[in-house]
Structure 1
Amino acid sequence: MTQNQNRLTIASYFLLALLTASLHAQAEKPESKSLRADLPYQVKKSDPVNHEVEFSVVVTPPYHCKVLKVWVPVPQTDAAQEITASKFTTFPQQVSPQISNEPVYDNRFAYFEFHDPHGAQIITHRFRARAWNLHWNMNPAHVTRVEQWPSSFEPYLKPQTVAQPEQFQQVIQNINAGFQNKGPGLIGAMNWIDRNLTYDHIHASLQADANHAFEQRRGHCSDYHGLCATMGRALGYPTRVTYGLALYPKNSPSHCKMEAYLPPYGWISFDLSETQKLAKQIQSDKELTAAQKTSLTQAARERTLSGFRENSWLLLTRGTDYQLAPPALKPVRVVRTAYVEADGEILPEPDPANIKKREFSWMTSHRYTADKPFKKPFKDLSTLNAD
């Protein structure tokens, strides 16, 4: 073989190596390299607060119950919150929990099984939580459209069946038409919900039910965000309902938000119901001028639409329609504070914020102690000036 032939052969091998490396790089760097369902929050954090949490579930089993089963969601550390010193105790029966994660959304649960319980059983979870104010500063003009989402997003794109499909599709078409080349249609869905839904704790599903919200045009936080999540998926965006705890005294400690995956920002948290309530508070404030009301209402809505989560809210669960770990009688729609079964029957879920309720099969009690005073952004108007 001549010297030129050697050089040609070496060059060929080199080009082949480059081509092979390029092909491998393409195979290893699909769309999912930048679009990841497990992407940590890409967010600006500020004003951390440390909370000492003592959270109890008081369960009253039926008379002569043989087996009482209770699942309690366990908060996890992530990029937005830190959980330490977690410990469960029970009274009067001493039962150790089984801790495990369900496979779809990786939610963690503490499972308790009481045999022949006599009277109420109290499960108490004590832990420390560090939470921040979270600002995504999302600019709708910078959100990119995705034609084909990686398979890891499948659980977040699965639509909820809507009982009024024609009316629902008409709303989605109108939102799409109104937001062509004006940023993500999800913003249009949020605006539609703000215009069309009324906050109502008595007529609420407690299950993030899009059908309830769309048909009744009312509900509480889970209905607002369940419908918005369904609309977001119909518009082509991965979404998930998130349930957590408001870390200050409330009759109903649970509160729901919604997250949507908007490239290049990743997962962003939105709270539509609390923003609507805040806007109504502003409009009814007799000490504010008309100009101040307009300015503050706009600031409240802009804060929400840019992505915001407060340092007095703690994430417990993500997602809808999944099987608990260990499995329950059937998959759950959501878990707010606990899920309970007694002798093979699901105990009804309480709504302590419903003033007409007088009977509960179980209830929560809770105490939170913060290391410093903090403002409630959806109640304190001065937080809008600060933002």
Structure 2
Amino acid sequence: MCHYKSYSYLFVFFLIINLVPRTTIPAEISSPLKPDTAYTAKKSEPVTHEVEFSIIVTPPYHCKLLKVWVPVPQSDTAQKIEDSLFSTFPKNVEPQISSEPIYGNRFACFEFHEPHGAQIITHRFQAKVWNLNWQLEPETVTTVSNWPDQFAPYLTPQSIEDQQQFQQVLKQIGNASEKKSSGLTQAMNWIDQNLTYDHINASLQADANHALSKRRGHCSDYHGLCATMGRAMGYPTRVTYGLALYPQNSPSHCKMEAFLPPYGWVSYDISETQKLVKSIQSSSDLTPQQKQNFITAARQRLRSGFRENSWLLLTKGTDYELAPPAAKPVRIVRTAYVEADGVALPEPDPANINQREFSWMTSHRYTADRPFKKPFKDLSTLNRD
């Protein structure tokens, strides 16, 4: 009888642990608390891109020293870089290649002494890039009360000029998150509802102050403000800049990443999702129900974490010293950073229809080994009717 009771208890215990619904976390996405942790997203649909990327710089008259820092893309679990080769014209200059110590960004620095006329720097390389799907489930994200010291650069918010307004927004986000979802999700919702994408009125510097005061900007303003909100709520975040690997006026595009245990770094694209949703809403080819289905799928993909196989990571983080050092630290680097005799040349914005003068500009050509879909334009990538 004693043995019968023991087996009965074991049987009940077996039923409890196997039949009660519970959320499980696959072992492969478990991530240690280290900022250099590899991406844990599910990889799919690799595309190999042959990249030719040129930067054409026109130095001021009688410039003594023109210096150009070019981000060097690095291989990781999401992209594989091969056959990297730099060349210059008309001067033949060999770059100094160094890594900055905070985020590990790598740069090729070119020094043109007494340049006459425009100088062209061309980087040719091959990039194999995957789609990344984190399939994040908010209820499985764990809270960290004490982050390791290595996360300090990702937890310090940008200094906000209008603290009263910023705190009011954080309070709104906090009240919403108590009932619905995580604070970071609500921050992304607030950005989507309150910011307007603007090709002209933008900071180009992932400036949270610009986004908060103007309620407008480029992708970097969207993600710079959301990253600062996330840090204020205790989420390590970083702005990531890279190249859209298909023809368009402005080759650079940024995203935001947040470190969310056990998933590690998760990528989000708020601005492109917002633009996709607006294009769905304005479509005359979709029924109201189809529109709702696609919008729901687009927003779910944003919340779940996604990065496409036509975007190449160049730099991570904000506010750091270049390597080798420039005259002053940079906020971010999009495609290049340029100094003439120690003075930074203005950042061009090729997406600004009103801008007619450039001190430097980029030209680019990408050749893919197979056709690929653009997930923020092609509705078939959302897998909804």
Q: TM-score by structure 1 length?
A: 0.90
| Residue identity opposite 1:329 in structure 2 | A
Q: Hey, what's the Cα distance between the residues in 2 that align with 1:179 and 1:345?
A: 45
Task: Indicate the residue corresponding to 2:11 in structure 1.
Answer: none
| Residue identity opposite 2:284 in structure 1 | K
Q: Hey, what's the Cα distance between the residues in 1 that align with 2:275 and 2:181?
A: 25
Residue among 59, 66, 70 paired with 2:64: 66
Residue 180 of structure 1, CA deviation: 2.4
Q: Hey, what's the Cα distance between the residues in 1 that align with 2:100 and 2:257?
A: 19
Once the two structures are aligned, what percentage of the paired residues are identical?
72
1:180 aligns with 2:178: yes
1:87 aligns with 2:82: no
Q: Hey, what's the Cα distance between the residues in 2 that align with 1:111 and 1:344?
A: 14
Q: Hey, what's the Cα distance between the residues in 2 that align with 1:68 and 1:323?
A: 18
Task: Indicate the residue corresponding to 1:353 in structure 2.
Answer: 351
Task: Indicate the residue corresponding to 2:47 in structure 1.
Answer: 49
Structure (1 or 2) with the larger CA radius of gyration: 1
Of 334-343 and 377-386, more deviation after overlay is shown by: 377-386
Residue 34 of structure 1, CA deviation: 2.6
Q: Hey, what's the Cα distance between the residues in 1 that align with 2:299 and 2:330?
A: 32
Matched length: 355
Task: Indicate the residue corresponding to 1:134 in structure 2.
Answer: 132
Of 163-172 and 229-238, more deviation after overlay is shown by: 163-172
Task: Indicate the residue corresponding to 1:313 in structure 2.
Answer: 311
Gaps spanning 5+ residues in structure 1: where? 1-32
Q: Hey, what's the Cα distance between the residues in 2 that align with 1:265 and 1:185?
A: 17
Task: Indicate the residue corresponding to 1:144 in structure 2.
Answer: 142
Q: Could you report, residue by residue, the CA deviation over 1:97-147 in whole angstroms, capped at 9, with x for unpaired residues?
A: 000000000000000000010100000000000001100000111111111
Residue among 206, 214, 228 paired with 1:230: 228
Q: Secondary structure at the residue paired with 1:179?
A: helix
Q: Secondary structure at the residue paired with 2:157?
A: coil
Q: Hey, what's the Cα distance between the residues in 1 that align with 2:294 and 2:378?
A: 11
Give the conservation status (yes or no) of the 8 Å contact 1:49–1:311: yes
Q: Hey, what's the Cα distance between the residues in 2 that align with 1:132 and 1:107?
A: 20
| Residue identity opposite 1:213 in structure 2 | A
Residue 378 of structure 1, CA deviation: 0.3
Residues 1-387 of structure 1: pairs in structure 2 closer than 5 A: 34-180=32-178, 182-385=180-383
Q: Could you report, residue by residue, the CA deviation over 1:251-300 in whole angstroms, capped at 9, with x for unpaired residues?
A: 00000100000111110000000000000010111010111111101101
Residue 204 of structure 1, CA deviation: 0.2
Q: Hey, what's the Cα distance between the residues in 2 that align with 1:113 and 1:129?
A: 26
Q: TM-score by structure 2 length?
A: 0.91
Q: Secondary structure at the residue paired with 1:251?
A: coil
Give the conservation status (yes or no) of the 8 Å contact 1:143–1:184: no
Residue 182 of structure 1, CA deviation: 4.7
Of 141-150 and 52-61, more deviation after overlay is shown by: 141-150
Q: Could you report, residue by residue, the CA deviation over 1:152-202 in whole angstroms, capped at 9, with x for unpaired residues?
A: 100000111111101111111221122127542100000000000000010
| Residue identity opposite 1:225 in structure 2 | H
Q: In angstroms, what is the RMSD of aligned CA positions?
A: 1.1
Q: Secondary structure at the residue paired with 1:180?
A: helix
Q: Hey, what's the Cα distance between the residues in 2 that align with 1:122 and 1:98?
A: 16
